[in-house]
């Protein structure tokens, strides 16, 4: 499962980090969220889906 964050849209809200810290991180001095692993296990799909739904700027995409 490939999860991506559109850095142009990301505003550093950090909802994704709250929902799925296994996938997303927002380092203390960073403006945008980062993906921790380019390929995430499918077991994390529910969390990734939830993070995408809760991103205030709809910056998260999930592809198989």
Partner 1 sequence: MAGIVIVGAGLAALRGAETLRNLGYDGDLTIVGDERHHPYNRPPLSKQLLAGTQDERACRLDTDRARATWLLGRTATGLHPARRTIELDDATELHYTKLLIATGVRPRLLPDQPRMSNVHVLRTLDDALALRAAALNSHRTVIIGAGFLGCETAATLRTLGTTVSLVDVADHPMPALGPEVGARALAWHAEAGVDLRLSTGVSEILGQDRVTAVRLTDGDVLPTDLIVVAIGAVPNSEWLRASGLTTWHGAVLCDDRCLAVGHDDIAVAGDIAAWPHQNGDIVHVEHWSNAAETAIVAATNLLTPDDPIHHHPVLSFWSDQYDRKLRAVGVLDGADTVEVTEEDRNRLVVEFRRDGALTGAVTVNAQDRYLRHRRALRDAQHSTPAAV
**Residues of this chain that bind partner 1 (CB under 8 A):** 12-15, 17-18, 26, 28, 46, 49-50, 53-54, 56-58
- Burial class for 12, CB neighbours closer than 10 Å (0-12, 13-18, 19+): exposed
Are the CB atoms for 44 and 5 separated by under 8 Å?
no
- In the bound complex, what is the minimum distance in angstroms from residue 37's beta carbon to partner 1? 20
- In the bound complex, what is the minimum distance in angstroms from residue 28's beta carbon to partner 1? 4
- In the bound complex, what is the minimum distance in angstroms from residue 46's beta carbon to partner 1? 7
- 53: helix, strand or coil: helix
């Amino acid at each position: 499962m490939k999860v991506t964050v559109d850095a142009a849209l990301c505003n550093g809200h950090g909802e994704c980090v709250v929902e799925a810290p296994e996938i997303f991180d927002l380092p203390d001095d960073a403006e945008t969220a980062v993906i921790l692993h380019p390929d995430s296990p499918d077991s994390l799909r529910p969390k990734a889906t939830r993070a995408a739904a809760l991103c205030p700027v709809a910056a998260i995409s999930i592809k198989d």
